[in-house]
Amino acid sequence: MIGCVLGGFMAMGGHLEVLMQPWELVIIGGAGVGAYLVANPMGVVKDTGKAIKEAFAQAVPSQQHYLETLGVLHSLMRELRTKSKNEVEAHIDNAEESSIFQAYPLVLANKDLTNFICDYCRIIIIGNARPFEVEALMDEEIHTIKHDKLKSYNALVTMADGFPALGICAAVLGVIKAMGAIDQSPEILGGLVGAALVGTFLGIFLSYGIVAPIAQKVKMVRDKQNRLYIIVKQTLLAYMNGSLPQVALEFGRKTISAHDRPSIDAVEQSTLLALEHRSAA
């Protein structure tokens, strides 16, 4: 993208040194970052840095994440069917020490997902909630999680939307400076007007070429991360509605996009290997 923009400018006969206007960048970038800091709490500011790192690292769930999520659900549903409430509660009350969760380190490392699974397994153990009530509660919590995860995306989009206008502000300030030299030669005046117009270019370029694409990548990564909660929701609801654990897993597996979805055989093999590992332990 940068190569096409700058290369096209040079191909038209433009000189790159004309674009080197650091004070225009200070005005636009400083105003944009300052407005961002004013508009967002510090928690969102810190999360934005984390989200950008995740975006560049493509930190989306891998197939192993999906297999481990389905695996831990399968193990817990088997426990719910065959063991007493006290035995199951030992796993969900202290997930870090649970042999089930320890067999799935990627799930255990995701504290929010682990708490989400444990909370709804605890509701199932209590036994008073009906499936449609649990579904409504899950939907509300997942909506809240998604809203929180996308705060950084919304903040970046707002900043991107403001950069073109800030570029105009920088250009206007440059024109004001140029008007102060109206009595100078055309060469000097033309250079000042050109420098002012760089502000408009920088504002638009930062918006549509830099910040907006990064914001979209943040949204894509966070949406894929939130898919794990949908898997848990559909699997546990199927179990509450009477499905066997292995059948309930299929409800969760089907919520994974076709490109990332593990096969039925892969899920069965993963669950069987985990059960053999736990039996040996």
Tokens 């206008």, residue located: 165
Q: Is the dihedral of CA 102, 107, 112, 116 positive or negative?
A: negative
Quick one: pLDDT band at residue 280, thresholds 50, 70, 90?
low
Q: Is the pTM of this model over 0.75?
A: yes
Quick one: pLDDT band at residue 109, thresholds 50, 70, 90?
very high
Quick one: pLDDT band at residue 274, thresholds 50, 70, 90?
low
- Give the pLDDT score at 82: 85
Does the structure show a pLDDT above 70 at 179? yes
Quick one: pLDDT band at residue 168, thresholds 50, 70, 90?
very high
- Give the pLDDT score at 89: 87
Q: What is the mean pLDDT of the chain?
A: 90
Tokens of 63: 């197939």
Give the model confidence (pLDDT) of 82-97 as tens digits. Answer: 888 888 888 888 889 9
Q: Residues 223-248: what's their mean pLDDT?
A: 94
Does the structure show a pLDDT above 70 at 278? no
- Give the pLDDT score at 216: 97
Residue type for 18, please? V
Alpha carbons within 13 A on the beta-carbon side of 80: 23
